[in-house]
Amino acid sequence: MTQGQGPVASLPTPPGKDAELPPLVLFDYDGVLADSFAVLSEAFLAASRKEGLAALRTPDDVKSLFEDNVYASLRRSGGTAAQVRRVLARVSAAAVREAPTIAPFPGMPEAVTVLSEKWHIVIVTSNSEAVVAEWLRQHRVDGVSEVAGSETATSKVEKIRRLVAAHPGQQRPWFVGDTVGDMREACEAGATPLGVAWGWHEPERLLVAGAERIARTPAEIVTIVSG
């Protein structure tokens, strides 16, 4: 996005055959851009207690949800579809309340801005598009063109495939993520997984799950994508 504009919280319409689009770079939000684990883990545990989901008791239990698609993980933990919706709605509400306290990881806003000069930046997240858009606005993170969140689809695989289809003729896009689930869904969707060393899951686990590379700093993301 340009300075002062918010991201478009939707997937794009495929362009005409003569249109030229910048190449895609896809980012997860929580754990990559936003240092949100403390807020979200507390919200997940509180919501799970309210819904009677006994399988979620500790912050590590919350991390384990993201070894796969979070919706599928919550269902496997014993939640009904309605319970999962209510848990995620409460987590989103907490994210909105605490948005001013959820800081960007140092160096990430600058990395996104640099990449946006040549790449089309899309955040692909299990979080709410509205939550992410408001966080980007509050923290003045510029360069994001779109947010594909929970309002678009529950599956990152589906969202990535639709984005790739809307940008035909390009190489496999990088998907920058921080969890085992991110790496697996990126591989399945035809993106190239790029793990970060500061997220919810350890770099070694990301490599086992399919990460092509691990970025140790935000500046390394720029170097890897540019290279």
Q: Encode pLDDT of 112-145 as tens digits.
A: 999 999 999 999 999 999 999 999 999 999 999 9
DSSP tag of 26: E
Q: Decide: residue 61, CB within 10 A, 0-12 exposed, 13-18 middle, 19+ buried.
A: middle
Does 201 share its domain with 212?
Answer: yes
pLDDT at 210 over 80: yes
DSSP tag of 144: E
For residue 43, give its domain range.
37-100
Confidence of residue 95 (pLDDT cuts 50, 70, 90): confident
Please give the average per-residue pLDDT across 2-22, as a whole number. 49
Sign, Cα dihedral of 44, 192, 226, 171? negative
Please give the average per-residue pLDDT across 186-208, as a whole number. 97
pLDDT at 202 over 90: yes
Does 41 share its domain with 31?
Answer: no
Residue 72 CA, distance from chain mean position? 16
Among the three residues 81, 100, 119, which one is the final residue of a domain in this structure? 100
The mean pLDDT of the chain is 90
The pLDDT of residue 6: 46
127: domain CATH number is 3.40.50.1000
Greater confidence, 21 or 176? 176
The rounded distance, in Å, linking the Cα atoms of 69 and 92 is 17
Does 54 share its domain with 166?
Answer: no
Count of structural domains within the chain? 2
Q: What is the pLDDT of residues 29-69, one digit of tens each?
A: 999 999 999 999 999 999 999 999 888 899 999 999 999 88
Does 137 share its domain with 72?
Answer: no
The pLDDT of residue 19: 53
Say what the pTM is: 0.88
The answer to which of 94-98, 131-135, 198-202 has the lowest mean pLDDT is 94-98
Structure tokens at 197: 């060393």
Share of the chain above pLDDT 90, in %: 76
Among the three residues 100, 117, 141, which one is the final residue of a domain in this structure? 100
Residue 3 is which amino acid? Q
The pLDDT of residue 17: 44
